[in-house]
Structure 1
């Protein structure tokens, strides 16, 4: 799992550790439990192989779990709401922290470009946040 550290003071180290433990716990679930999160036909979100275009294609040895976390209205009802607690709560908290960081970056970008921060925020208001875990 890779994390992009913008600034250590912006993301709580304890939360990053909770996410790492949650991901590890998710992948250690029994197969029957993990199968509930499999990708559906024609979708990339869920547990499985990304970018499979044919039955003859060589696949990675490891599955990945890809999920859209923001905007919340775009979340797949069979994925995020069904994640085990406390992993779901941890991802929710992590998502909110990343959203806050994005807003801080927008303000800094606006200042650098001599823009009104409100205008910059409006440009990215409907931004998406997704997470890929493997």
Structure 2
């Protein structure tokens, strides 16, 4: 994630106090590399969420494509991965 990227619960795309909001609540989490993770922001439920994100998606993709485990890392270098969940309230 880029430096200054917001992690945790909040509203996306708020640039000034005077703007009209496109109402969207979001929850963002850094996943890879481990140095961007903030475990104190991760929810306790569902319990499997933490375990699922311990396996980098590049590893899963290479396995499904029957390629070497680290083929994407060799080609692209270290990847930054994040999870973002949006909630749009019913109008």
TM-score grouping bracket, smaller chain normalisation? 0.5 to 0.7
Greater helix fraction, Structure 1 or Structure 2: 1
Structure 1 residue runs without a partner (length 5+): 1-41, 109-116
Aligned to 2:67: 107
Tell me the SS of whatever aligns to 1:133.
Answer: strand
Aligned to 1:58: 20
Matched, 1:129 2:91: no
Structure 2 residue runs without a partner (length 5+): 87-91
Count of equivalent residues: 81
TM-score of the superposed pair, with normalisation by structure 1: 0.46
Deviation at 1:106, TM superposition (A): 9.0
Equivalent residues of 1:49, 1:60 under 8 A apart = no
Deviation at 1:120, TM superposition (A): 4.2
TM-score of the superposed pair, with normalisation by structure 2: 0.62
Q: Relative to 1, partners in 2 of residues 1:121 and 1:94: Cα closer, same or farther, differing over 3 Å? A: same
Q: Relative to 1, partners in 2 of residues 1:132 and 1:75: Cα closer, same or farther, differing over 3 Å? A: same
Larger Rg, first or second structure (1 or 2): 1
